[in-house]
Amino acid sequence: MGLLTQASSNLLTLIEIVSKAELPRDDYEHHTFLRANAIPRTALSYNKFNSLLDYYVTESNSKRRGAAQLAEFRRHWQYVLLCLSQCFFMRRWLCFRLDSAAYGNNGDYWIKKYKLSRDLTKEIIAYLDGYGLVDCRLGKAYKKGDPMSTRVFPRAVLAAELLEFFLDIEQPIQPPYVTANDAEGKWHRIINLGLPTDHPDKVGMTLINDFLKGHKWACKAPVRLVYNANAFHGGRLITPFQSLPDRSMRVRINTLIDGQPIAEVDFNANHLRLALAVLSNEYAGEAPYEDIAEAAKVEGRDTVKAFITVAMGAASEKEAANACGLKGIPRDTFVRLRDGARKRFPNLPLFQSWGVVAQNLEGAILRDVMLQGVDKGIVCLPVHDAIAVPRGNEEWALGVMQEAWQKTTDGIKTRLKVDSI
């Protein structure tokens, strides 16, 4: 099958997967934010998208604008339409901060970087909402200094116009590749660390992104290393590709890398295994989540996984119990899981914020694997605690990931699994 035919077939598969999905939940895990998306001039859909863009700019341009102002209006429309196309497949709401503080000198880092206009953004949202092209939920300042964003999601008529552009959408791969959230961890407060050019993190992330520029995948964008507060707390690899759903609906695994099907190689129970290996030189066994479920007399691996993720990230038991409640884990189940985890793994650090340390170690391991991929010419995309590679590279990834993990844990082994379609 030729690459063009395969890409068209792939898009139809993705559309079929998401076409009957319900409106996404309106919570933090189902939100995403405006990015400087574009379609490359070399893409076959470039001219068609620009015709659609011209239509919306012309129809919504109710003011007398000069050439420069009209170009800015058009740029904002481009970002919004292309992000909405991605949101339909991500099953996420597109969020806009419309409070004036976000646009000031001390406001949102990305708003300033992308040179976004509050007035132009509001005008576009008003047009889309006014013509019933999006579901729109207006934000409000429910918390001083951290207002809720206005959220929109494309309705069927607009989605039908945008879906065909999804696989061609790219975000320019440009620095910064290493940033930090502020001390309070707010998504809109980003710190450019200003690391020296020869800093290992900056060198490594630049090598990775320079290599990725020449390749193609869904939601193509920079891979960024993001720390919480500073360069010693919780370095995560972030890229929009990992926001494509794969548990509730199998979107991400059905995408392509350079026109080829993909496989994902996952670390099993990674934070739990890292904690036991690093802190007590302990191997967690073949099925640690299932072991905890049995000890706690609780059914459901996903419930155990959710508990462990929260309990290892929380700073106190009360904080963890409240967070588990929001995830649908009642108090009595929480207590059984707590006791079961302590019984099976007495050395497991619960309610001590150790998840941040695990996150940092995980990010370092994945960066090591990606850099080895660069050396081998193999595209590796980070997906939380996994790596996506073009199918046929699974055995290579299994070996490199195991080796990188053992370097971090002084020889303790982990378990990995391969997922593909």
Q: Mind listing the pLDDT tens digit for each residue in 210-242?
A: 999 999 999 999 999 998 754 455 588 999 999
pLDDT at 143 over 60: no
Instruction: Tell me the per-residue pLDDT of 255-276, one tens digit each, with 9 for 90 and over.
Output: 999 999 999 999 999 999 999 9
27/127: higher pLDDT:
127
pLDDT confidence of residue 216: 97
Backbone angles phi, psi at 179, to 5 degrees: -140, 175
Tell me which residue has tokens 């341009």. 61
In Å, what is the CA distance from 94 to each residue of 152, 156, 415?
5, 16, 36
Contact partners, residue 400, CB within 8 Å, separation at least 6: 369, 372, 373
Q: What is the mean pLDDT of residues 64-79?
A: 97
SS (H, E, C) 335-378: HHHHHHHHHHCCCCCCCCCHHHHHHHHHHHHHHHHHHHHHHHCC
91/107: higher pLDDT:
91
Give the range among 190-199, 213-222, 284-293, 366-375 with minimum mean pLDDT.
190-199
Query: Percent of the chain, pLDDT > 90?
Result: 80
Q: What is the mean pLDDT of residues 148-165?
A: 95
pLDDT confidence of residue 190: 53
Biggest alpha carbon–alpha carbon distance for the chain: 71
30 falls in which pLDDT band (50, 70, 90)? very high
Return the SS3 of 237.
strand
Encoded tokens for 346: 């007495």
306 falls in which pLDDT band (50, 70, 90)? very high
Domains of the chain are 3-168 (no CATH), 178-269+356-420 (3.30.70)
Sequence letter at residue 295: A
Q: State yes or no: cis peptide before 288, omega within 30 of 0.
A: no
Instruction: Tell me the per-residue pLDDT of 32-46, one tens digit each, with 9 for 90 and over.
Output: 999 999 999 999 999
Q: What is the mean pLDDT of residues 195-213?
A: 92
Closest CA relative to residue 87, chosen from 190, 140, 137, 18: 18
Predicted TM-score (pTM) of the model is 0.92
Cβ pair 122, 130 in contact under 8 A: no
Contact partners, residue 349, CB within 8 Å, separation at least 6: 275, 279, 312
pLDDT confidence of residue 102: 87
pLDDT confidence of residue 229: 57
In Å, what is the CA distance from 265 to each residue of 218, 245, 272, 365, 406?
18, 16, 18, 13, 16
Q: How far apart are CA 289 and CA 107, in angstroms?
A: 42
Q: How many CA atoms lie within 13 A of 151 on its CB side?
A: 18
Q: How far apart are CA 149 and CA 186, in angstroms?
A: 13
Instruction: Tell me the per-residue pLDDT of 240-258, one tens digit each, with 9 for 90 and over.
Output: 999 999 988 999 999 999 9
Encoded tokens for 2: 């030729």
Q: What is the mean pLDDT of residues 320-338?
A: 96
**First-to-last C-alpha distance (Å) of the chain:** 17
Contact partners, residue 161, CB within 8 Å, separation at least 6: 52
pLDDT confidence of residue 365: 97
